[in-house]
Every structure is written in C-alpha cells, then in structure tokens.
Structure 1
Amino acid sequence: MKDMGWQALWWHHFFLLWSTIDAQTRYSIPEELKHGSVVGNLAKDLGLTLTEISERALRVASESGEQYFRVDAGRGELLVNDRIDREALCGQSASCVLPLQLVLEKPLSLHRIEVEIQDINDNPPKFYTEELFLNISETAVVGTRFPLESAEDSDVGGNSVKSYTLTKNECFTLKMKEVEDGKTVPELVLEKSLDREIKAVHQLRLTALDGGNPVKSGTSTITITVLDVNDNFPVFEKNSYRVSLLENTAKGSFVIKVAATDADEGPNGEIEFSFGARTPDSVLTLFNINPSSGEIILKGDLDYERETSYKIEITAKDKGSPEMQSHCRLQIDVIDVNDNKPEIILTSEPQPVREDAPGGTVVALLNVRDADSVNNSKVTLQISKGSPFKLKTSFSNNYALITSGPLDREKVSDYHVEITATDSGSPPLSSKRIVSVRITDVNDNPPVFTQKSYNVYLKENGVPGSILFSVSASDLDSGENAKISYSILDSKVQDVSVSSYVYMNSENGSIYSMHSFDYEKLKVFEIHVQAKDQGSPSLSSNATVHVFILDQNDNAPAVIYPSSAALGSLSHQRMPRSAKAGHLVTKVTAVDADSGHNAWISYRLAEATDASLFSVNLYTGEVRTKRAVSEQDDSSQRLILEIKDDGEPLQSATVTVSILLEDALHEPISELRLHKASEPSKKSGRITLYLILSLASVSVLSLLTFVILAVKCMRSSRSSGSCCCMRRQDSEDYKNPNRNLQIQLNTDGPIKYVEVLGGDMMSQSQSFRSCMSPMSEYSDFTLIKPSSTTDFKEVISVLDASLPDSTWTFESQQVTPNRWTATSRVSKAETHTAVNHSGFAKYKIKA
C-alpha cells in the first residue's frame, strides 16, 4: 500500500506541468526522481525537430554548476541525470526552481527553462534532543506554561510539522503558542498542582506529526522533576530582540545586550545567560554571550551570501534550587556588502569567424552573475575599444558577442577581446575576461609581383634551355589562397607565339629559353606573365618582362665596295702614272652586322707590291698614294687590305685590290670637261628646273610630315589625357624609333645638290633625294641605308647601272670613336662609303 501511495503521489506531480512565464518554459517535477526519468519534451516545447536537436548539439548548461539534467537527442526529451534533493538545494525555501540554459550550436542560440522541484514527504520531524529534562517546583501554579522544544522537518508546505501530541497524564496538557512569522511552538501546561511527596518524577512523550501522506512523526521524551522552594522565573525585558549587522563587521564587535530580572532574592535571583540548548554550531562559531551581563559579541566572519539572518534562542536561569529559567528570541539580520566581484561565464566557446562575415555575426555566448544582492548584484559590461565586436543583450544577464565592423585577416588574424564586468555597488567591483577570436582567411588579395615590369638583358647565341629570368609574386592571404602558380600569357613576337621562344616553370616563376637568340634578327621582345592563386574564386595579376638581346661579335666585316670584291675578293682599279702624293686611288667600304663596338671597323694594309707607294686610312678605308708615281714603279700593283672590327673576339676580312698604272689617263677627262663647258647655256635651264622640283618636293614632304604628326598628337592626347610629345610607350619606341633628318641645299658653282643628314640608329632605311648636274639625264634617286651587306651592295649596283660615270660624285663623312674624317670626293668608279650601325653617317650626293 505504501508503494501504491508513493506512485500515485509521484505521477500526480510528474505529469507535464510546464507553463511559459516571461517567455520561458517551466517544468515541475517531484524531488528524488530516478536517473533517466523524463522531465519534459524539449523538441515539442521549443519547436525543434529531432534532426535539429541532433545536428545542432543541444546541451544543458546548469547555472548551479551541478548537472542534474541531460538531453536525450534521440527522443528530444529532458531527462533526470542525478538525484535531486530539494532540501539540499533550497533548504526551507517555499519555492525551489532550478534555472537551466539550453545551448544550440551551429548557429549559436540560447534558450532558458526553469524546473520547479516539488517537495515530497521524505523527511520525518526531528527533535533536537531526544530527551528533555524539566525541573518544576511543587509550588508551581496551576496553568503555568513550560515551553517545549519544537520539532524540525526538512520538508516544506504540507509536508512540514503540523501538530503535536502528548501522552495522557493527570497533571499536564499540551497547548500551542503562536510566535512570530506565524509559527507555533508547543507548551506544557500545568493542569493540576504537583505534590512531590506523592510523585517526584513524571515521564511524558511528546510526538510531532507532519502533514504528509503517509504521515511521518518524531518523538521526544520529557522527564519532569518536581522541585521545591524557588518559585519565581527570570523575566526578560523583551520577548524578542532584533539587530542588523553589516557582513564586513569586524570580529570582536558588540552585537546586542539582553536583560532579564528575577523577583527572588539571593541565589534564587541571580541570573545567568546562555544560548539555548538547540543553538546550532553555525551560531556558536560566530557569536558569544557573556553569562553575567548578557552582552553578545561577534567572534567570527559574517557572509551574507552564506546566511542572511540568524535566529537564536537565549536562556536566562537563576541559581535557585531548583533553578528557574525563561527564554527569549534574538534575530540577527546580515546586511549585504559589495564584497563579491562579478563573474563572466562563457556559455559557448568562441567560434572562428570568416573575415568577410557580415556585421551582427554571433561569435560567442556568455552570461554574468554576482553573488551579492540588490544593487550590488547589478552588473554592466564593457568591451575593449578598437575591436570590431560588440555585446548584444539577450535576457537575464545573458549576452552575445557579435561582429560590429569589417574584418581583415591580413591586418589582424587574432583578436583578444577584453570584456569588463562592473557591478553597481559602492565602491563598485569589477572583473575582466579575455575572449580570443580567430579570423579565418578569405581569398580577397590577388598575387602581387615585386615589380610591374622587369628588364632582362640576354646575350645572343645563348644555350637553349638556359634560365632567362625568375619573377616572383607574393599573396597576403594564407593557405590555398596564397599558393601561386605562374604562366605566360599568349602574345606574338614577330608574328610567332611567344611560347615558341620561352617557357615558364609554373611553381617558381623561372623563365627558360627554347632556343638561342640572334641579335641581328631579334633585338627586343616582351613576355607577359601572370600569377594566379589557388583560392576560390582565384585572383591573378600580370607583369611584363622586357627581354633585350645583347649583341655579341659573331659577324665578320663584309666588303660592299668595290663591288667586284663581292665576286672574288679582287678589285681592278686604274690610275695615271702622273698621280701625285695623296692621290685617292680607291675607297674600300665594309659593314658589320653587329652593333656598338663590335661594328667599329678599321682598315690596314696587310701586303703590297710596293709598300712605299700606297697607304690606307685606318678609319675611312681610303687608299691613297704616299708619293708620286715614278717611271720605275711596276705598272701592275697588288694590295691586300685587312678589315677588322673592334669586338671580342676580333673578326676580320680581307680584300685584294689590283691597280693598273696607265699613261695619259687625264686626256679623255679633260676633253669631257671641255665638252661640258661648251654647253653651259643648254643645261642651265634644266639645272634650275631640277632645283625648283627638289625644293618643292622637300617642302611638300615637310608639310605632310608636320600635318600627320599633328593629327596623331591630337588623337593620342584625347585618348590618354596627356600630351603626345611627352608620352613614350615602349612598344612604339621599337616600332617607330626617333629620326634625326636634316635636309640642306648646297651650291658649288654650277653644281647643285641636296645634302641629307641622318642620325637614326634603329631605323632600317633612309631616303635621299638629289638634283643632278645639267649633264645628267636623271633628276633624282633613292638611297636606302642598308640593314645588311647584301642590301647595300644591291643599291650600289643599281647606282652604278643607272648613272653615267661623269654625272655624280659620292661624298661621305663618318663618325669614328675619337675623330671625324675629312670629306673626300671621288668619281663614280671610286665612290664608296663605310657604314657604321652605331655611328652617325653623313652622305652628300653631288651632281
């Protein structure tokens, strides 16, 4: 029957008695439930599915520190995890509520529920002492009341002590006396005068009954000894005393003084004070009473958080025989002092945050509590300045740490957020908590080359497969977002894909040649490289590598005049025996396909039939007589000239000149000059016409050039916003090099000519226009500056075939490393020039 009654009570309290109070869920359960008992269905009450509970890792965080409950993720139910003793948790408090926090991860959220623990009648009433001894004088008046010990019951409400019973006897009855706080205490009432001689000792049994079902009880034995004589009790000035103490009151401080009087005289009237027999040790360790004066002194440390008040029974006994005593109650209230710092508790550990997380992203959940009361427990939170985070209030001292500004992992990868909690006490107390937040990387930085463009200087004729250059890029991101691969963007070099010339190592950015380069064919080209990271989406940046091919001395000088030397390295020349010293015999002209110092040419006479007769100019290649020709000189002279460049290693070539000495070579020339002089009037008109045509051509050409340049400048300035004259682009520098062209009109008596000066080092051709003499049948011609030996030979060949021997002369000046050569004038048969790619050549074509 007991088991059935217990089960009925259990089910009566257990069935779901939850309600929502202030938007919170509350369950009610009886204490002492078995492990695994169901408290309530969280899935249903919180509106969550079982899948959400499992995936979001629903867990219980108890504010009391003890894990009395757990969550069954499979069924979504809140279960009892440990034995719950209401008396241990809440003592004699009328209400016993356990606040719980339910934490959901991914994303973080917090729910608060309350579980009310209902009392069951699991504790019987107990007396502090199992046997009470009373000494009552036989002179005691009928109706006199003797206070008895009250029983204590750990249960509350209806399960606490409800009534007392006393065994039947002739002299005493039991009455209840109401005291403060609505409590009642039992008193023994004398119903009949005592007679010690008839009965000196009375044995009674006091029984305390609670209101539970079934009823529990406790008993105490009362032994009454009938005494004689001393028939007056000490009387207290007050039935109850009350005093308040600050919890930080110093030891040894005076608390209160109680006072009592006794109408008897002598020892029967002398009073001694003491704490009641039921005074607990917690009071005895804190307070001390002076037996003679009744002064109560504090001898321990008060703690409001441990106990807010103390109720003490004080006894006053006289020294009569038998002794008489009376009782009063003292209540000591402890006043709270702000002596506890606020405590910050992380409900959930901070989660890593992406650097592109939007504002308001929850990082961590926390709550704060203070063991003090009233204003001393009111806490405000502050967050360290300068961090992109803030606190958002949730409910009941619960907060969420959220993002409040943009994040950049490349600037700050870890934040140590300092949170300060300060209460409202006087003086206020505070505590700090560091919350570490890690920022995770997002691919928001492209790779960056060390330079936007690179200049690489490469010698020609290098070994294929050798490394040309290595580019390098860096990425501020981390992990895969910072892994860089290199590649070459497709572009054209002389209408051929750049990949035919070079290839690149994608891992380290090294560029390798596919074959050797020839400066005479390719002087400069560009490689457009790209660096791309491995992020998603990937980011990239580009750079340009300018490759300049450096000339090597890999071309020997080539003779372009005399033209017959091209066929067999042998040239036949004629000269009169009447030639004087310094007579120009011929001029050897050679070119070198190299550039710079490698193309500086010098001439030397290697062998000669008569070395005393001829000399050659070191820089111009002019062969002149060193002395006048004598009759004894052989009519056939043979010269071998060596032509060398200035490169390393040195390259050379030779040409053989055969000279035939003839008599009276000047007579035909004299007759021709006389013939020319006889017809001045006939040719003068033609010379004037040629001069006018030349001037008009030059003027028209200059005007057209000026107009074209002006239009181009206007278009360029509109597109780029800058003056075209001040802008320079690398690609145009190679395609359209600067030109230095001077056109000069000269007169030399009856001979008219146009002088053209060119200083272009990169151009491949130059045009010259000239007026011929009146004797010439040709008005103009075009001379192309050679880019190779063969081209210039062809020009000379055309020139030889186009004009009569006596109609023009070719005059040249050449810049040498240290000097200018003198101008020489020779006939058509002797015309020649030296072409230097890196020098400044001046050509005069005279009619």
Structure 2
Amino acid sequence: MSPLGIVRTALPNMDRETRDQYVLIIQAKDMVGQMGGLSGSTSVTVTLTDVNDNPPRFSRKSYQYSVLESVPVPSVVAKLKAADADIDSNAEMDYYIIDGDAPGVFNITTDEETQEGVIFLQRPLDYETKSSFSLKIEATNRNIDPQFLTFGPFSDTVAVKVIVEDVNEPPVFSPLISRMVVSEAARVGTVIGTVSARDPDSSSNAIRYSIDRNTDLERFFNVDALTGVISTAKVLDRELNSVHNITIFATENQDPSQVGRGIALITVIDINDNAPVFAIEYETLLCEDAAPGQVIQTISAVDKDEPLSGHRFYFSLAFSAANNNNFTLRDNKDNTASVLTKRAGFRRQEQSLYLLPVLIVDSGSPALSSTNTLSVRVCDCGVNNVPRVCGAMAFSIPAGLSTGVLLAILGCIITLLVLMLLIMAMRRRRKTPLFIKDERDVRENIVRYDDEGGGEEDTEAFDMVTLRNLNIIRDSKVQDVSPETASVYPYSASAASRTSYKTLPDNIVFQDFIWDRLKVTDVDPSAPPYDSLQTYAFEGNGSVAESLSTLESPSSDSEQSYDYLNNWGPRFKKLADLYGNLEGSSIFS
C-alpha cells in the first residue's frame, strides 16, 4: 500500500479575509528519495471557507441628511450601510432605531440585495413644529456563530441627524370641514358661520378667502374675503337643495400660487312652506249599482316639507261640497281618508262625472292646506263590480270582435269615404264649362292676315264691322243634333237642315252650336267621367252653295261681294280648291 501525503496548516490562525486561497506544489519520490529514484509533482489549491468572525462596522460615527417638510408619507429619507468582511449569509444584518427624539416619525428596514439600512418617513414633517431629528441606528449580524462570541459584539451603532427644510406651504384650514346650519326662511345676507385658515410658514402671510363657484353654481352664498364669514346671497329652498357642500379657497396675499382648500357643509333647516296634495292622480270609478255607504276610493297625501315630528294630515270635504247628497268622506286618522257613497241609484245617462273637492290640512306651524279635486266617473259594471263602460258617451263593443277586426272595419269605412270624395271631385270637374260664355267674338282672336291684300277691294272683303257685330238677335229655337245621327251636319247636308242657322251671324251660330253640344254631352250617360275632346263637322252659314268647295256661288243672304276673287287670280283659286279638298278629311269630321 502506497503511503499518503498529508497537508497540514503551518500557522495557528489563518484569516480568510486576509488571504482566502493558497496554491501548493507537491512532489513525490520513490526509493525513499535516494539517488536514482523517480519523482512526480502536482499542484494543490487550498481555499479557506468563511466563518462569521467579523462584526458589522460603520465607516463613520455619524451621518446627517436633509429632507423637505413637504415630502409625502412614506418617502425614503436616507440610506446607510455597515461594512462586514464576511460573505454570504455571514454578512447579512438587520438595522434598528434604538434611540432618538422622533418616536414614530421614522422607521428603518434592510434592503436584502444591498444590505443597506433604508430610513423612511412614517408621519408628515412640519418645519414650523420641529426642524431636526436625532436618531441612533444599530446594525447587527443576523447569523452569529457562538464560538466567536469572544471576539466581541457582532453589531455597531451610528448617530443619524435628519434636518427638515422649510417649504412655502399653502394655508391650512382648521378645521378642514366646517359644519353650519341655516333656516330656509333666512333673509338674504344672513350670517351662517365663519371659516378659518392660517399660513403654516413662519412668515405667516395674510390670507384672502373666496368660494369655488363650481361648487356653488347658483351663488347662494358669499364669503368675506378678509374674515371668512359666510352669509346667504339668495333665498334658500330646502325642497330643492337641503345640503350645500361648498369649497372655500384661502390664498396667500404675497404668493397667490399658494392656495389652501377647506369645506363648508351647510344644512338647510326645513320650515312649513308647502301645502299637502294628493299622493297620486286618482282615477275613481263608481258602479251604477253601488250601495249607500260603499267605499269607492281611499286617498292619501304627500308634502314636500319634512317636519321633525313627521307628517300628520287631516282630510275633509271642502265647504262647497260638505252638504252634497252623493258622497261623504271619512278621515282614517292614519294620513289616509275613505270616500263613501251616500245614496244608490247612480245613472251615467243622467250624470257620468262627479267632481268632489277634498280639503287637506297639515300639522305644521302655521298649518297649510290645499283643495284637491277628486273625479268620480260612473260606470256600467259587470260581474264582481268590474267596470265595463264608463261615461255617458261610451258605447259597448260587441263581444268576440278582436282589435284586428275593428281596425279592418275602420279601414273599409275610410276607403269608402275617400272613393266618394274622388267621385264628387270628378263630377264637379266634368261639369265645368269648356268655354266661357261671353259676348265677345271668338273669331276676333284667330283672324290673321299674312299678305298685303288686294287694295281697297280686299278691305271690303273682310268687313270687321260685321265680325264685331254682337247685337244680332239669335233664333230662339236652334235645331239640335243627337249623337245617334249617322251624319252630324256633314258638308253635303241639305240646305233645309241648316235653315235655322243661316239667318244669324257666324259668331252667334258657332257659339250656339258649341253650347248645344256641351249640353248633350253633359246628359249623355255614355260619356266618359273625365275631360275629353269632342269634334263636330259643322261649317256654319258662310256658303250660299251649301258647300265650301264652291266659292263662285252667288250669295242671296249676305251683303258681301266675292268679286275680289277675280283680282286675286289663279293663286287664290288654288287655295280655294285646296280648302275644298279638305272638307271630307278627319280635321272636319
């Protein structure tokens, strides 16, 4: 068996904190180290492990920190760290405030990652109250090895001074919420209370007060800018707003940016300024067969006021209805009343609606009252006194007819009415004369001359005096033409069929003919019920030869002469022939 090489410490007290590692060169020889023997070497690294043999130590005996008095809670005030030569868990430590003049103002904890002591704020600071604090901080090892207790205490202490720096602070109200009460009957300008604020800074600047109008939109209140006295600016109404929560501003005169805020909570005390009224709008139905003494309605009342002792209402009939023979009222003594009948035999045909005035009085001081009208409608009731028909003008609906059927019947009635109106409108429109019967010569508007004429003879040919003669007496009897006639006055008709028209001027003849044809059309049952164009072939009495195609016939009934045709020559004759050819066309048929 080969012998072992043992490595032992040569020094009695090795210190890891001084040197934590050693490298050794180890040589081994055979033949007990004699000449000619063989040898081998190797390196050995010796690492010293840590033990908790070093206490924490602060690098300084005291520390000083500054902090603004306006820092919020919980803000970090300072950080400090004690040094420990050990590592890992042997270097873990806890911090404590073991003494000082600020109990409860500060606290300290350990940052586990950095092993620092973190001092933080637990209460707000006030420079004007206390401007500095003295603390005694202790750092202690968390894991202590009992065998090293002889080395001394494993903790250290340090003095910490915290200086509070002054900050220009806004005014502070005292108290923050001011509670006030005022009667809703208070007059404008009544003093309600006073708010108070002070400048917490040592300078103690003057303060001006104002109201945040966003919390008092209707400007019910005013505040004195110097004294903080709050008074009413308008008449108050508790029923509209019973509590006013307004914000008061306190502003430093020298620094307007410093504004403090306080609250004024104003409660409006109630007075009896509202009369009681019906709780709801009652609909009272009375059966025709109701018996005397029957309760037909139970009524109650409401009041916008809220007396401390609660409401108490008194009901009675108004004086004008106290002696009526139809109804009576009973106060139930519980803020309700019952309406009862005094007789039987109600008939809705005789009277369908009764108006009953009811007087309601409250218990306020002074008491207020109001008269409310209860409408009682008489109804025809069925089984179990269920009203079926109410009111004198009501009518019953036959059983079995649904709403859809009723709507269909109503739609039919409306449709018939519309059709009747349309028929009447068409008849009225059809009977409107197509021509206005006037004494004016209608041909006067259509006579047109498009040539130079033939001189003096041409002027005589168209005698305007004859065309404008409106005083010739018509024949009292004009032969009518029925629609059934095979030929309605064709141009080839005999002279005898037009004898009655020849003795009258053309304008009178044509007017009479048109009016006669309109009369026939109006009474014709086969005529369409709308406006239509009626055409008739009637040439009048202008042709002696009884045909417009013959212009050379002598005239025995007219004083006009047609000798001017010879002066016009072939051109006018060609026009006359063309006119004669149109006699049988559709224009004149």
**TM-score, normalising length: structure 2:** 0.33
**TM-score, normalising length: structure 1:** 0.24
- Greater strand share, 1 or 2? 1
Larger RCO: 1 or 2 (CA < 8 Å, sep 6+): 2
